[in-house]
Amino acid sequence: MVTYVILIVVVAFAFDFINGFHDSANSIATVVGTRVLSPVAAVLWAAFFNFVALFTVGTAVAKAIGKGMINLDVVTPTVILGGLSGAIIWNLITWFYGLPSSSSHALIGGYAGSAVAAAGMGAIEWGTKWIQTLVFIVLSPLIGMALGFGLMVAVMWIFHRVARGRVDRFFRGAQLASSGLFSLAHGANDAQKTMGIIVSLLVSVNTVFANETGTLRHFYVPNADHIPFWVELCAYTALSTGTLFGGWRIVHTMGSRITRLRPVGGFCAETGGALSILLATFFGIPVSTTHTITGSIVGVGATNRLSAVRWGVAGRIVWAWVLTIPAAALMAAVSYLLLSLVAPVG
């Protein structure tokens, strides 16, 4: 059992790495698309701020995932592993096709699908956290769009008498700050989701580690109200390391195929997206950084003219959003059923 649990923790951190790899586009696509930073410099910049989030935000999102969405009485190591497997499979499929789907919703959908396969619909704790999560699937891109549009309009009004070249030079520097802020927001919200899954796992097997000594004593977690620091540290490290490897297929879609951006547009999109995500993180709401930054980019593009947004590409992205939770849930349910045939427990 101990070995099995440790293996699942490793898989969870592998998901966090893939999350960073898959979602690195969220952090760097705009700053690469505007050519403010090279791809290599951009991923280093984003990874640094992904990790800095460890020291600047709380754990409200992790606690929401850990105890607010699935009945902990039905959680077993195999349920967790099934959920992670479904999320990883969906992430890799959407990465292969260059679709910026939500790793966050893949994880939530996978966790729910695996739990339902194990214990039926009663495994879902329908309440505030599910309502917030489902509502923000719609609201997060709309909020990002509104903030991106509003910031762009404000900047255009403030700088309308300034030569375009001077505006671009100013916002090339400003975009470094906005890109860093968005990367921090990305790390703050996304790393916590994996933390919540790991805490759910460790709470479900806390009797196994209650009398352990040495290193294994750190695996004892009495309840989901406490997030061990080693879980936080490893989650942020895995996410930022994944970001270093980048998801270049998705960077192309996000950075240039939705709309063409100048540094001023990149600044407004990143700032609008970051503010939206940080607000949700403060209230413990697991949101999609992918949804939010895409909405911000669309909002910025729409200030030019509606035809500046490639709505066909945006439509494909929306379909990926709609399908993510049910697709990951289905894959996780199948994974759970297969794993339950060979797993040592649960």
**Per-residue confidence (pLDDT) for residue 271, from 0 to 100:** 93
Over residues 245-250, the mean pLDDT reads: 58
Segment holding 57, helix H or strand E: none
Nearest residue to 41 via CA among 187, 211, 176, 200: 176
Nearest residue to 178 via CA among 269, 59, 98: 269
Reported as a pLDDT band with limits 50, 70 and 90, residue 320 is low
**Per-residue confidence (pLDDT) for residue 146, from 0 to 100:** 92
Over residues 229-258, the mean pLDDT reads: 72
CB-based contacts of 191, cutoff 8 Å, min separation 6: 16, 50, 53, 54, 232, 235, 236, 238, 239
Most distant CA atoms of the chain, gap in Å: 70
Reported as a pLDDT band with limits 50, 70 and 90, residue 255 is very low
8-48 pLDDT tens trace: 999 999 988 888 877 666 667 777 777 777 777 888 888 89
Kindly state the tokens that stand for 87: 């999320």
d(CA 190, CA 63): 13
If one compares 341 and 262, the residue with the highest pLDDT of the two is: 341
Percent of the chain at pLDDT exceeding 70: 86
159-202 pLDDT tens trace: 888 888 888 889 888 888 998 998 898 888 888 888 988 998 89
d(CA 74, CA 76): 6
pLDDT at 345 exceeding the cut of 60? no
**Per-residue confidence (pLDDT) for residue 187, from 0 to 100:** 86
b/e map 109-148, b = 16+ CB within 10 Å? bbbbbbbbbbbeeebbbeeebbebbeebbebbbbbbbbbb
Neighbours of 161 (CB within 10 A): 5
pLDDT at 151 exceeding the cut of 60? yes
If one compares 334 and 248, the residue with the highest pLDDT of the two is: 334
Judge contact between 236 and 260, C-beta under 8 A. Answer: no
Reported as a pLDDT band with limits 50, 70 and 90, residue 71 is confident
pLDDT at 73 exceeding the cut of 90? no
**Per-residue confidence (pLDDT) for residue 259, from 0 to 100:** 47
Judge contact between 295 and 152, C-beta under 8 A. Answer: no
